Amino acid sequence: MFNAGEYFEAHEALEDAWNDEKGTVRDLYRGILQIAVVYLHITRRNYNGAIKVYARSQRWIKDWPAVCRGIQVEELRRDAEIAISEVRRLGLDKISEFDNSLLKPVHWDGIQAQKKRRYLCDRCGHDMYEKNCKVSCPNCGNRFDCSDLNIYFD
């Protein structure tokens, strides 16, 4: 839906996924749904709505690694920043001139999402295990959130 430019429908579907998810990855879903709302405001030429929701979206999307669960998060952040920079450049009076080709799709690599990641404990060196975006060491009990880049290894 997002990639088809159906931003309202994408927002609704992502909101369902966000509400159903209990782990911290729910914030990533929330960030993506917020970007969908930004894009919806842009397509409706709602300057103030796009600016406001973009600022709010940064809380949910800014701290994720470049790729999470196969989603190219850094690319999405960069694409959204390019779009909102153009909105700001055009301003309230010229937002009708926005080029919708600047609204890029979310890229997702299903193979990457299914690939097992390897985490090593920075305390004892043992393999760590991930469940619901929480990474824990069975040897020493050390725990991290999977978005912590300091312990992420392919």
pTM of the model: 0.71
Whether 77 contacts 61, CB under 8 Å? yes
Q: In this predicted model, what pLDDT tens digit does every residue of 114-134 receive, in sequence order?
A: 556 677 788 888 888 777 667
Q: In this predicted model, what pLDDT tens digit does every residue of 29-61 receive, in sequence order?
A: 889 999 999 999 999 999 999 999 999 999 999
Q: Which domains does the chain have, with CATH numbers?
A: 7-111 (1.10.3450.10), 116-153 (2.20.70)
Q: Say how many C-beta atoms besides its own lie within 10 A of residue 113's C-beta.
A: 12
Closest CA to 35 of 4, 63, 14, 21: 14
- DSSP string across 44-92: TT-HHHHHHHHHHHHHHHTTS-SEETTEEHHHHHHHHHHHHHHHHHHHH
